[in-house]
Each structure stands twice: as structure tokens, then as C-alpha cells.
Amino acid sequence: MPTMTAAERRERDRQEFNVFLATCPSRQLLDRLSDKWVGLVICALQPGSLRFSELARAVAGVSQKMLTQTLRSLERDGLVEREVTPSVPVRVDYRLTDLGRSLLPLMAAVQDWAEHHMREVTAAREEYDRAS
């Protein structure tokens, strides 16, 4: 198995994966990343590991069902690790994997953008609604 440079790996990925193709696996992955709760959960885990209930409190508005579902998919995709402490009652902690942590700055950047450009978007909406 020949060694590849980083540039060669990028080129190989570029040929094999393309989010603009409807059936490409990376498109499905992008859909997961675009999930309503995925970004918030990942950023909530930035400071370190959190228990299920702490996570539920951090991400306001998420239902227990949606949080469980989101965490399962993140765990399956290798972005989050789950650790169970078999005490009574049971204690479950979640933390980012290295892969999940590599995604963190991107998700945080989008959230920052939303917070910092809210005023301009609001102004644009009022303008649009007035015109129509």
C-alpha cells in the first residue's frame, strides 16, 4: 500500500465524494450535519463531557426523544463517545471524539454567524415584507 501525501488524499476524496451529487454518501452526511440539533449538541459538548440531563438543559428546547436520537446518530457516526457508569441510578456521560472535535469549530462558526448577523437578517426581512 503506497504512502499518499495529504494532497493526494484530498484529490482522491474530491473525485470520490461530492455533496452536489444527490446519491453521494457525503450528501447524506451533510444532511445529518444539517440536522436541527446536531450543531447545538456538538457545541454544547465543547467544554468537556456532559451527562444526559446536563446536555438536555444546555440545549434548551430539545425533547428527550430528539436528544436521544441525535446522540445515537452522533455516536454511530463516531463524533461522540458514550460512557456508562453502572451506579444506581445509572450515570451516562457524553463527550466529543477527536473526529467530533474537528467539526466543532465549523459548527461554532455558523452559530456565531447567526448570532452576529441577526440584526441584518431582521432588517432584510422587514424590507422584504414591506415591499410585498
Partner DNA sequence: CGGAATCCAAAGGGATACTG
Partner DNA sequence: CAGTATCCCTTTGGATTCCG
- The number of beta carbons lying within 10 Å of the beta carbon of residue 67 is 19
> Mask of contacts with a second copy, 50-89, x by CB under 8 A?
--------xxxx-------------xxxxx----------
- Residue 2 or 48: the one with the smaller Cβ distance to DNA is 48
- Residue 116 interacting with a second copy (CB under 8 A): yes
Closest distance between DNA and the C-beta of residue 20, in Å? 15
- Residue 88 or 98: the one with the smaller Cβ distance to a second copy is 98
Percent of the chain as helix, strand, coil, to the nearest 5: 60, 10, 30
Cα R_g (the chain), whole angstroms: 19
Distance of CA 72 to the CA centre of its chain: 12
- At 78, the amino acid letter reads G
Binding site for a second copy (CB under 8 A): 10, 13-14, 16-23, 25-27, 29-31, 33-36, 38-40, 44, 58-61, 75-79, 99, 102-103, 106-107, 109-111, 113-125, 127-129
